[in-house]
Amino acid sequence: MALALKRATGLSPTQVTSRPVCSRAAPGHASCAAQKLVLRSTGAPVRPRVVPLARAATPAADASANPPQPATPAYLQQAYDLSYLSQSAGANDTVAVVDAYDDPTAEADLGVYRSTYGLPACTSANGCFQKVGQAGTSSLPPPNASWEQEVALDLDAVSAICPNCHILLVEANSSGFTDLQAAMSTAARLGAKQISASWAGVSNGVPSVLRTFSGVATVAATGDYGYVGTGQDAYPAALPGVTAAGGTSLAPATATSARGFGEAAWSWDGVTGGGSGCDLQFPRPSYQPASGCAGRAYADLSADADPTTGLAVYNGGSWSLVGGTSLSTPVIAAYYAITGVSAATPGWAYGASGSLNDIVSGSTGSCARGIAYICNAGPGYDGPTGVGSISGTVVTGAPGVGGPAIGSSSGNSYTQSVSDHGATIAGGIYRNGLDTNWWIQYGTTTAYGNQTPASDLGAGGAPVPVTGYLSHLSPGTTYHYRLVAKNSLGATYGYDYTFTTSSAPAGAPTAAFTVTTANPSPGSPVSFDGSASTAPAGASIADYRWSFGDGTPTVDGGTSAVASHTYASRGIFTVTLTVTSNGQTDTSTSTLTVDPPPTAAFTPSATAVPAGTTIAFNAAGSAASSGGSIADYSWNFGDGTPAVDAGASSGASHAYSNPGTYAVTLTTTDDLNVSSTVTEQITVAAFTVSPTIPLPGSPATFTVVGTLANAGEGTQYTWDFGDGTSPQTTSSTTITHTFSARRTYQVTVTAQSGGTGTASGGGGGSTSSAALNVDTPPTAAFTPSVTTAPPGASVSFDAGASSMPSGGRIVDFSWNFGVGTAVFDAGTTTKASHAFTASGIYTITLTTTDDLGGTATASQQVTVDQPVAAFTVATASPVANAPVAFDASGTSDPASTIIDYAWNFGDNTTTVHAGPSATATHSFSAAGTYTVTLTVTDRLGLTASTAQQVVINPAPTQPPNPTPPPSS
C-alpha cells in the first residue's frame, strides 16, 4: 500500500487519512459510501499525480507503454486480469449509475477523465451517455456538493473498467429510499443490464420500498463502517437478490507472485472499512455456505475500496483520490458488463469462486465467535470480501500479464537478478482458459529486437508463475523488456520495464557456451562447448566449471572448453558455465530442454474432395515422448486462411473454396514446449457438389469451377460417377446425377476443348477427380437427466437414442452445453455430463458424425434456476384480531417468474395461495408467537420456502363503559 500511495501521490501513509464524502444518513435515507483521501495536517484533499495517457497507454505489437500509475484504469485492469475484456467487451451493454441529487457537470467532468486516460469519448451527442431524473425525464433534482463527488466517482469507475459501455445516470430527487428505489426502477425500465447503487442505509428492519428487478444485476455498496452490529444491516446490499459489494485494499505485491498484486479486506483502523453483516430478516440463500449466520450473509463479491489505492477522480475542475465501497460497487457492475456473467443474483459467484481472488486477511470489526467470519477475512467465504475479489479468469479470453512481482522502495519490476551478462525475469501469466504461450521481448530500445523462445503454458484459469533468463547481454548497458503472452484469441503485450547490467570488472573473462545437441533424449549424451568464452588480452581461460542443473555434482573441466553430460529424465534444466581467468570469474546461464520431439501424425477423412467439401482431420495418432503429453495442436491448411490453434483437441475440420493441391501442416507441441510438424497433401477437385454429401436416391448437382470452367467455347465435359453407370458428356458446366447406394464414389470430370480455347493447352483435355461420400446421415437424439436444475448441479445427457441407417455407424458425439462456443468431444461415447454454475436457460446441442462424414444435430434446453423466498412483516407491532400485512417482494427468481405465493400463518388456518401477488394480509385470533411460512412456486415448478417467527401482541383492551347513576 505504501508503495502504491507513494507512486500515486508522493506521500506516505502517515501523512494521509480518509474522510467520508457524505454524512451518515437519517432513518429512511441512504448515505453515499465514498471516502476521500485527505492530508492529516490540514484536511485538504490529496491531489494524485495525473499523467495524461494517449491510446499508446495500451501496449501493442508495435508500441510500448510505460507501467500504469496506481489509481488509473490500466492499473485496475491489470490487477484484475481485465485488460483484454476492458478493450474488447461491453459495447452492447448499458450500466446504470443511480445516485441522489444532480451533478450539473457530470458529462463535462466525465469527458475530462476519459480523454486524460485515453478512453473513447462517451457523450450524449454520440449516444453513449444519458442523464435523466428520477422519473426518466429531463427534469432534474437540485445539486448537492457531496453527492456530486459520488456521481463523479461512479462514472469514472464504470469508465475505467468498461470503456465501451453505455452509461445511464439516473438522479433521484433525494437520498430517501423511496426516491432512490424509483430511480432504480427507471434505470431498469430504460434498459440497463446492471445497476450500480453506491450507497447504503443502515436499518434494523428491511425498508419495505426496496426491491430488485428480474434479469437486472443490482450491485449495492455495503457501506464504509465495517460490521455495524447484530440487528443492524445495510440496505439494499443485504437484500438476497442484490450483489453486496465488499471492499479490499489493493497494492502491488512485495514478494514473488504470479498475480503481482496483493489484497486484504479494507479497513482504515480495524473497524472502519467495507461493510459486512448477517441479516436475520432473510433466510440463508441457497447459494451461500452453511455457517454460523442463519440468515443472509454479506458481502458477496469485492474489489478495491481503499482510498490510498483507489481511483483518481475528476470533479468540478480538480482531481482527488477516492475509495470506499462506492468504488467497488461501480467496478463490480462494470465487471459484470464485460464478463457477461449471469448476475441477476450473486449466486453465480459462489459457483465460480475458484476463478476469483480469495482474500484471506484483514478485519472490519468485532463479531461473536460463531460468526467471526462475518468480520474477518479468511479462506473461502467471509463477510468483508465475500467469495473473493473480481477476476477476468471467469470467462475465456486472450491472456493476461500479471503485475510486477518484486517490490522495492523505488518501484516494482519483474527483474529478480542482474549480472554483467544476464538477467532473470519472473512474473505471471493468465491463460484464461486457452492454451497459451509466453516469451520475453528485450533489447536496448523499446523496439526490443530480441526475444526468448516461446514457452507453452497449456490451458487453465489461475495465473501461473513464469521465469525467463536473458543471456549474452553487454555489461553496463540498459535494457528494455516486456512479457508477452498469446493464445488463440489474441496476444497481450506487457508494459515496458528496464534494467541495467553491471559493469564487467577490469580484466574479467566473459563466459559463453553452446549446446550442440538440440532436444536431447534422456539417457543420451549431450555436448556442451564453451570455446566462445573469452579472456582478457594476453590471458587465457584457466578453468571451465559446469553445473548441469539436474542435481548432479558440478563438473570442473579444467582448461577443456567442452563437456558432455547425460540426463536421466526429461525436463527443463538450467545449465551454468563459470570461467576463470586472472583470478576473476564470469558465468553464463542457459536453459536446456531434455525432451525428444513429439511425433506429429494425422489422418484426413479424404485426400481428394470436391471444392467446398468439409474435410475432418484427426491427429489422435500424434504422441509425446515417454512421460509427456501433447499440449497443443496447431493447423495450417495451406490456403491462406489463418492458422487454427485447437489447443489440446486433436481434431479439426476445414473446407476449401477453390480447386488445387494444398499442403496441410500440423504442428504438435508437448508439455515442455517441444514441437514437431507433419505435412499431407489435399487435392481439391475442379468441381463442387450440392449437397456436399448427397443422399442415396436423391439428385446431386455437380458444377465445374476454376480454370476448367473457363476452358473456352465448345468445351465438352465428360463425367464418370464411379457407380457403374455410363459416362455422361455435356457442354454445360452443370450436371445432375443420382446415386443409388450409400458408399464412397470416385467422381471424375474430363474437359475436352473443341473450339478456340483449350482445357489443358494445345487443344488437349484436362481431368479432375475426387472421392465423394453418398450417405444417409445419422439421427441425433438425447435425453437430459433433468430439464430444470439448481446452480452447481451436474446434469447428465444420454445420446443412446441416436441412430444410424443400416451399413453405417456413428463415430463421434460432440456436445455444446450452451456456455460460449466450447465443444466437448466425447468420441464414440454416448453419455456426457455438465455442471452449470450460473442461473440461466442453456441450449444444449448434440452433433453426431457417421463414418462417411454425415452429421446431424439435436438441441434441447435446460433451465438452471433456483428461486429465493423472502418476506417481511409490513405491519409494525401487529396485534390480535387486526389485519397483519406481509410483503414478499424481496423474493427473487433469476430465470423464471413466481406464479404462486403460498402462506401458512402457523395458526391452523388454511394455507392461502395468493397467486402472483407478493402481498397478503391475515388476522390472528389470539396473541402469541406464530411461525409464518412462505412457499413460492415459479413457472418451472421450482419451489423455495422461508419461515420466520411473528409475535402477535394482545389487542388493546377497551376501558369499560361507565355505570350510569341510579335513577332517582
pLDDT tens per residue across span 930-948: 999 999 999 888 899 999 9
Mean pLDDT of 512-530: 92
CATH architecture of 408-500: Sandwich (2.60)
Domain ranges within the chain, ordered by starting residue: 2-57+67-204+215-394, 408-500, 514-594, 603-684, 693-774, 783-864, 872-952
Could you tell me the fold of the domain covering 783-864? Immunoglobulin-like (2.60.40)
**CATH number at 514-594:** 2.60.40.10
What is the average pLDDT value for the chain, to the nearest integer?
90
Per the listing, cell 454425415 goes with 854
Section 672-679 average pLDDT: 90
pLDDT at residue 758, as a whole number: 37
Burial class of residue 862 in the structure, from the number of CB atoms within 10 Å of its CB (0-12 exposed, 13-18 middle, 19+ buried): buried
User: What's residue 406's pLDDT?
Assistant: 56
**543-600 pLDDT per residue, tens:** 999 999 999 999 999 999 999 999 999 999 999 999 999 899 999 988 899 999 999 9
pLDDT score for 570: 94
Residue 598 near residue 625 (C-beta atoms within 8 A) = yes
Give the pLDDT of residue 762. Answer: 29
Supply the pLDDT for residue 554.
96
* Res 79 pLDDT > 70: yes
Task: Tell me the per-residue pLDDT of 83-106, one tens digit each, with 9 for 90 and over.
Answer: 999 999 999 999 999 999 999 999
505 pLDDT above the threshold of 90? no
Residue-by-residue DSSP string for 203-272: ESS--TT----TT-EEEEE--SS-B--TT-EEETTTSTTSEEEEEEEEEE-SS--SS-EEEEE-BSSSSS
* Residue whose entry in the numeric block shows the C-alpha cell 488445387: 660
Is residue 625 scored above 60 in pLDDT? yes
Q: In this model, does residue 407 exceed pLDDT 60?
A: no
Looking at domain 2-57+67-204+215-394, its CATH class is: alpha beta
The band of 453, judged by pLDDT with boundaries at 50, 70 and 90, is: confident
How large a percentage of the chain has pLDDT more than 90?
A: 66
* CATH number corresponding to 872-952: 2.60.40.10
Residues with Cβ < 8 Å from 430, sequence gap 6 or more?
Answer: 81, 392, 393, 399, 400, 401, 402, 461, 462, 463, 485
Rounded to whole angstroms, the Cα distance separating 767 from 750 reads 4
pLDDT over 90 at 175, yes or no: yes
Say if residue 642's pLDDT is above 90. no
The residue among 930 and 228 whose pLDDT is bigger is 930
**d(C-alpha 894, C-alpha 842), whole Å:** 13
Categorize the per-residue pLDDT at 55 as very low, low, confident or very high, splitting at 50, 70 and 90.
very low
pLDDT band at residue 961 under the 50/70/90 scheme: low
Work out the number of other CB atoms within 10 angstroms of the CB of residue 111.
Answer: 17
CA atoms of 536 and 541, how far apart (whole Å): 9
Phi, psi of 906 (to 5 degrees): 75, 15
Domain 693-774: give its CATH architecture: Sandwich (2.60)
pLDDT of residue 410: 43
- 771-808: b (≥16 Cβ within 10 Å) or e: bbbbbbbbebbbebeeebbbbbbebebebeebebeeeb
Whether residue 482 has pLDDT greater than 50? yes
pTM of the full structure: 0.70
Mean pLDDT within 63-74 = 91
Q: What is the CATH class of 603-684?
A: mainly beta
Measured N-to-C along each axis, helices 325-339 and 145-161 cross at an angle, to the nearest 10 degrees, of: 30
pLDDT one-digit tens code per residue, 18-28: 999 999 999 99
Nearest CA to 402 out of 343, 341, 463 is that of: 463
Domain 783-864 in the same topology as domain 408-500? yes
Other CB atoms within 10 Å distance of the CB of residue 251: 22
Greater confidence, 496 or 228? Answer: 496
